[in-house]
Structure 1
């Protein structure tokens, strides 16, 4: 009977939500209630919603996005997974659904399956043992998330933008309602911020950090400014390339996209944010190619530094991995590539209009870069010919000019919550007492700044890759604000961690793991009529394990 009541309540809720979505004018305010309201349409949001639905709780996802799934469905198809054995629960189910899709011969439209290079990020892409697949096309990921939503009768209200100035009502340490820019208000017992930016968290007055903490804050080695630390190839190394318009002449001015600010003292904190880019889905499959276009405001002078990189003998082109159907998930590679270094510092805190400007600047930069590679005479002809064989995939992002819906927000705000994960937990130097999931990927940060060295040359800084000794546990407190700040908010993406620790935690499989754990905690709090901070950890742990979460790991050697 209880389940029937829940189902009826969910059905009525869905009908009301759809009514208001279709019939409420932008100037009218309306209240829509649920036990849980999730703000954001990321992979973490979907995992939270699925878990709540399975525990028979009423919920609504309210999100700015029109297309759900976050980066998982917006180009990041070459999964950063680390150790696959610690990916469990709904996160693993997602990759199992991907596997099922590609078992069908009809899924291989542009390429025979037996011609696919079955290589993933540190593992086989198509894993017959685990029945998972770790590489996939964007539209397949989005379809999979939509399948989860439909299968669990989850209501999603899209294109809903939080009023970040006045849209969060807080009483007695609890959020009581959130209001969108269109005037629609949503009330709930518990709220979840599933955005990459942490917009709801910030609007609720929760403490957070933007940028890098000094190493001294959490007794770390790899946080803060990291000059002359070259863990990858995304730097100028010992190439002595001049940053000036006239090489060697500081009075001639500085080339575009090079900072004139001092980089800061080694290990010191700053407000700089690691670079963003778009994870393009490109292809060379004849009949599915959309040629890289020349932006209207194309300015080849913006890429003069790249010319000098080429002249030094380094030719950075495509990065990223192969995904099915002759496509590539294209990522940054080299010292001057798709990472738009230094142009995103304002993004985490910026108003929507300013964010839009930043996104447009990133798009124009990225499109101009692709056009430059294919047409500028500084690029060797053989490389120009090669890139012109590629283009955007015609069957991806079809309502967005074949460009990804979501920029890669590698990092924005990070909550200072009930527990702050640091490199000490990641590296096994500090024990985690209340794990709600596990991670294992490298502590990875892309470049944070491009500056001028004391010797007068250009250099990048901030690109790191520090390998943990093994999988690590993630503390419950990373998704909880401090109790005195808010007693009914969970944060699943802008989680409580230091900059460098976030470099490992921020992977999409982990976001789904944290999303499921947040949904479990919320459901238990509702069932027991307690605040989220009051649920005994053993109770939460028991349910997480029952639902397939992996909370501890022993290597085969142990």
Structure 2
């Protein structure tokens, strides 16, 4: 048995912010983390910080940015983010100075509730954790699900909230789309690997599809970099679609550089970069295998994670060494490798799979497209600001018939990508708390109550940190007043957040 005042599940950056902001107010805090690292994606490969409007950066998210600048002795914002090990060092320092207890290597396997209140959570090591308030800072929403809180996974139907951009989307030209007439079948008439074979929903219909997962690899151009290697289990036949893609571009006279297939801008200190997925053929695995991940059991999740890890290694090897990849791409790739001083326990690949979305809580208020577009709607209970554009990454790779004379031609396409600019908008406290009837002592700063469309803007780590900060302050108020999280005094919460530098409205 382990007793604490506040239990935070997962040491993501949001979880760290929640824990530290509460601990600084005298709350006894324990974090339970299944892995062995602190920071989630912030220390797990996503070094380049997607910010949006810098005017709304506040609270502990800004404190983190200041910590990065101080570490490198550069002006604030000079680097878009830190190296992964530096991010973990900063966040670990916060936890240590705040006196937060972190339990590594333990996942939660069960939650006990009484009359809509969590009383305890059981770890995979058999320890029962009791607390007055709980924070689910996981990317998956596991704690909220075990507590019986309602949630949704994937794309909703356009009719549900009346959102223009909801549901399955029409293929649209752009940098994330293949050119037409890319053949989808192998020599045996079977779909090529990495193509999703599920039936396609009608345009605007919800299909439960989630944005692509992948690894945001940290790469190095330094002399001691680790070269990309051929993995045991690499299959030449898996990459025929990639070969066809490059051949199709060559026939059209299109020449690619390495940076056209993988983000290779040196945007991190010391000759490193955050290798993002770029283009239709990228680090994003689009075969639909991640659709099952949010509700999968631990064994299935590990299988899906391993599939993404294998794909990442194989993709890096393929675009670096396969003779059918354009020479200019290969020449550019061999100048990079995995960093020798990052992720030493996981072979140079990040410890965190980039779970862009999983479960989304159905809380007191569901943030939707209408709260972001065409103009933000004022929220009386704002606890943080969002400002990143609606950024729905590809949801699946499939194929369709192109009706050309005299016979239709099958053609591969990626589906789901969308980018729409927004102005800064307020995120309400009601979106990080469950419905009162379902749970009265849980806060959820990551898998917040939002539609698929709205979540695609909220889902940036800077915003998670600010929401984690708000969750920690709210938890301290709920504990001090012995009240439900839904009954926290909003005015007092906003005052304390403002005192911490949190931005609650767009600066004029």
Q: TM above 0.5, one fold?
A: yes
2:80 touches 2:268 (CA, 8 Å); kept in 1? no
Residue aligning to 1:20:
none
Match of 1:212 among 131, 155, 179: 155
Q: 1:260 aligned to 2:197? A: yes
Cα deviation code 1:291-327 (max 9, x no counterpart): 1111110012111111111012254422264211111
Q: 1:181 aligned to 2:124? A: yes
Q: 1:274 aligned to 2:211? A: yes
Match of 1:63 among 7, 27, 33: 33
Q: 1:245 to 1:448 in 2, by over 3 A?
A: same
- TM-superposed CA distance for 1:131, in Å, is 6.6
2:376 touches 2:425 (CA, 8 Å); kept in 1? no
Match of 2:235 among 269, 282, 299: 299
TM-score relative to the length of structure 1: 0.86
SS at match of 2:67: helix
2:371 touches 2:425 (CA, 8 Å); kept in 1? yes
Match of 1:221 among 145, 164, 167: 164
Count of residue correspondences: 490
Alignment of 1:85-104 (within 5 A): 85-103=55-73
2:136 touches 2:144 (CA, 8 Å); kept in 1? yes
Residue aligning to 2:405:
none
Q: 1:340 aligned to 2:285? A: yes
Residue aligning to 1:190:
133
1:263 touches 1:449 (CA, 8 Å); kept in 2? no
- TM-superposed CA distance for 1:35, in Å, is 0.8
Alignment of 1:464-503 (within 5 A): 464-468=418-422, 470-503=423-456
SS at match of 2:96: helix
Residue aligning to 1:116:
none
Match of 1:446 among 359, 376, 393: 393
Q: 1:528 to 1:320 in 2, by over 3 A?
A: farther
| CA distance in structure 1 between the aligned counterparts of 2:452 and 2:459, rounded to whole angstroms | 10
- Gaps spanning 5+ residues in structure 2: where? 403-409
Cα deviation code 1:250-288 (max 9, x no counterpart): x7222111123332111110111111110111112112x
| CA distance in structure 2 between the aligned counterparts of 1:386 and 1:518, rounded to whole angstroms | 44
Residue aligning to 1:245:
186
Cα deviation code 1:435-478 (max 9, x no counterpart): 1100100110111111111322111101111110x111001111
Residue aligning to 2:499:
546
SS at match of 1:344: helix
- Gaps spanning 5+ residues in structure 1: where? 1-30, 104-125
SS at match of 1:444: strand
Q: 1:505 aligned to 2:505? A: no
SS at match of 2:55: helix
Residue aligning to 1:109:
none
2:79 touches 2:268 (CA, 8 Å); kept in 1? no
1:415 touches 1:494 (CA, 8 Å); kept in 2? yes
1:95 touches 1:132 (CA, 8 Å); kept in 2? no
SS at match of 1:378: coil
Cα deviation code 1:375-400 (max 9, x no counterpart): 21111234323312211000101121
Q: 1:131 to 1:363 in 2, by over 3 A?
A: closer
TM-score relative to the length of structure 2: 0.94
Q: 1:320 to 1:72 in 2, by over 3 A?
A: farther
SS at match of 1:345: helix
Match of 1:202 among 131, 134, 145: 145
Residue aligning to 2:322:
376
4+ residue stretches of structure 1 with deviation over 3 A? 130-133
Match of 1:407 among 341, 348, 353: 353
Q: 1:410 to 1:320 in 2, by over 3 A?
A: farther
| CA distance in structure 2 between the aligned counterparts of 1:343 and 1:363, rounded to whole angstroms | 13
- TM-superposed CA distance for 1:429, in Å, is 5.3
| CA distance in structure 2 between the aligned counterparts of 1:94 and 1:305, rounded to whole angstroms | 42
Residue aligning to 2:471:
518
Residue aligning to 2:407:
none
| CA distance in structure 1 between the aligned counterparts of 2:325 and 2:358, rounded to whole angstroms | 34
| CA distance in structure 1 between the aligned counterparts of 2:11 and 2:475, rounded to whole angstroms | 18
Residue aligning to 1:171:
114
SS at match of 2:397: strand
| CA distance in structure 2 between the aligned counterparts of 1:524 and 1:205, rounded to whole angstroms | 24
| CA distance in structure 2 between the aligned counterparts of 1:198 and 1:134, rounded to whole angstroms | 28
| CA distance in structure 1 between the aligned counterparts of 2:388 and 2:369, rounded to whole angstroms | 12
| CA distance in structure 1 between the aligned counterparts of 2:420 and 2:172, rounded to whole angstroms | 11
| CA distance in structure 2 between the aligned counterparts of 1:34 and 1:304, rounded to whole angstroms | 54
2:376 touches 2:426 (CA, 8 Å); kept in 1? no
SS at match of 2:190: strand
Q: 1:312 aligned to 2:248? A: yes
| CA distance in structure 2 between the aligned counterparts of 1:132 and 1:375, rounded to whole angstroms | 34
2:377 touches 2:425 (CA, 8 Å); kept in 1? no
